[in-house]
Structure 1
Amino acid sequence: MSQTKPTNGVNLEEAVHDLPTADHTNLLHRYQTSQSVIIPREVFEQLYFEPSAHRKGTRLGTIFGNPTPMPLMGFLIASMPLGCNLMGWRGSGGGGVAIVGLFYFFGGMLQIIGSVLEWILGNTFTYIVFACYGAFWLALGVTLTPAYDAQAYYDTQSGGSAEFAASFAFFHMCMALVTFFFCVGSIRTNLVLWLVFVFIDLAFIMLMAVYWTTAEGMTEVAGKLQIAAGAFIFVFCVLGWYLFFHLILLAADLPTIPVFDLSQRIIGQSERKKRAQEEAS
């Protein structure tokens, strides 16, 4: 048996010498490090969208399956039909009322489940993203469901549909803001994911503008903005499907398509501190 190196100032051979043999393996397993990951680090990072500086090795990542494709698939299946509806393709319309079931189950349920699984694996950025968009789809589904009487309240007891549109626009404004933060945070993941966030943000900005121009009675302008919003949704869905296909190829152990990793091109804060310490010493 090769000599065990000290970990955190503790000599493991001395630590386990006086313990029963049955406890030796358990104690050694508590000192697993990032080197315990049995798949290449660059592949591990691609699976979870995490920058290399932040992606820590975890035994859970080698035991459980990668949850990321599931909520990503749910997000795309909810988004693409909405984009087509907003652009009015094949006579569609209604702002997504016809596909509200997709918002609940694909957009909401799958992303919330995926968020919990990402949290268990310790993927902070990914679980926050899926939790945010999962809640968005559920909130949108509730608003569009007639039984909840969201828009009808304004028509009967308040200032009419214009007031509803002006009020609902602030929801999309907040989503545009948080998506901008995600866009900045994803700049060290890969180019495809970063572009997805860019076009999601543009879509939310367009939707915000649609509701405010509708509230002001500018229906013609609102119609053009709605088509632009649908186009931006369609574009980020195309990029998202590309990313989803990449993850499926990885899961099936097939040759992958490039996602253009950015983690090594942009130096992270932890790496900057490390270099500064090395230069100081």
Structure 2
Amino acid sequence: MDSDISQNGGTKATFQNKESTLNGLTTVPTSVTLSSEQFERLYLTPMTVRQSPLAKKVGNPTPLALGGFVITTTPISCCLMAWRGASGNGVAFIGPIIFLGGLLLLITSILEFIIGNTFPCVVFGTIGGFWFAFAATMIPAFNAAAPYSSSTTDTAAGLASEGFMNTYGKRNQMPSNLRNCSLMTLAFLFITMAVLTLIFMICATRINVVYTLIFLSLLLVFLLLSSAYWQLGQGNAAIGDRCVKGAGASLFVASLLGFYLLIVQLFESIGFPCPLPVGDLTPLWTRNQDK
């Protein structure tokens, strides 16, 4: 009995010694420091740390959306600026708008969703949907332009009306209140896209400078287009024309930045030994968090 007690007492003493030893341990904080180039790569390629195993087996779909974006925005921006006598605000580009702008961005949005990239998924999905909606107003089967013609049934005349194509050289015969309604409706669409682009731009400040400048340029595009249509609704054709050309210039800047970002990502995908800077903004946020 005494031996058992002594053994139990010894056991208890051993547990107490181990407990006191464990209590004496201290945790050592560890941290990992990444260079700016490493951080840029993390944000230029899909994040695969918290994603499904499938994400580690597929490529980066973002260049696909960038390719569709630049192929669509570059000719439309030249059209808005009336280069080489171009006009029509994009009616000649219905095919590229649907199959290069809308379709490629929608496919990329789905792929970004599969690999777990929420922000690119939302950006490409909404912009791709906008391209589809923009093209639908010009397709006769949707009957979006015909009601704005003088006969309310002629799609070609509706597309040539002030409300859709900004042809300032002549006025159609449809009632002014209906014409102003069409202009205001498109202006509100562009205003809504401007608000959405502003949200995207704020989120892009967490990534890099190139992304931020692209969304800033698109923000100016939508604001200028909405101003143009409001001015046209009031009969100020000269001011509206200048706003449209300004929107084309901003869209052209966005397309150039898109080309640059596409080159950066393609170089990264093939391991090109000449990395291009994108202006990593994450250190700014890290510095603020440390404070």
TM range (shorter): 0.7 to 0.9
Shift of 1:77: 1.0
The answer to whether the 8 A contact 1:151-1:161 is kept is no
Shift of 1:167: 1.3
* Mapped pair 1:245 → 2:263: yes
The residue aligned with 2:73 is 79
The answer to whether the 8 A contact 2:217-2:250 is kept is yes
The answer to whether the 8 A contact 2:51-2:116 is kept is no
Q: Which amino acid aligns with 2:78?
A: C
Q: Secondary structure at the match of 2:145?
A: helix
The answer to whether the 8 A contact 2:77-2:251 is kept is yes
Q: Write the mapping of 1:23-38 to structure 2, written as runs, cut at 5 A.
A: none
Cα 1:56–1:263 change in 2 (3 A) is farther
* Mapped pair 1:125 → 2:144: no
Unaligned segments of structure 1, at least 5 residues: 1-39, 277-281
1:44 to 42, 45, 48: 42
TM-score by length of 1: 0.76
Q: Secondary structure at the match of 1:246?
A: helix
The residue aligned with 1:192 is 210
Shift of 1:42: 4.8
Unaligned segments of structure 2, at least 5 residues: 1-37, 153-174
* Mapped pair 1:208 → 2:226: yes
Between the aligned partners of 1:196 and 1:241, the Cα distance in structure 2 is: 11
Shift of 1:62: 2.5
Residue-pair matches, total: 229
1:220-247 CA distance string (max 9 Å, x none): 1010001000000001111111001000
1:149-194 CA distance string (max 9 Å, x none): 2122133457443321111111101000000000001101110110
* Mapped pair 1:150 → 2:144: yes
Cα 1:61–1:80 change in 2 (3 A) is same
Shift of 1:72: 1.4
The residue aligned with 1:63 is 57
The residue aligned with 1:20 is none
Between the aligned partners of 1:82 and 1:56, the Cα distance in structure 2 is: 38
Cα 1:115–1:264 change in 2 (3 A) is same
Between the aligned partners of 1:117 and 1:137, the Cα distance in structure 2 is: 18
Percentage of pairs with the same residue: 34
1:7-61 CA distance string (max 9 Å, x none): xxxxxxxxxxxxxxxxxxxxxxxxxxxxxxxxx665232224x7xxx97465433
Q: Which amino acid aligns with 1:261?
A: D
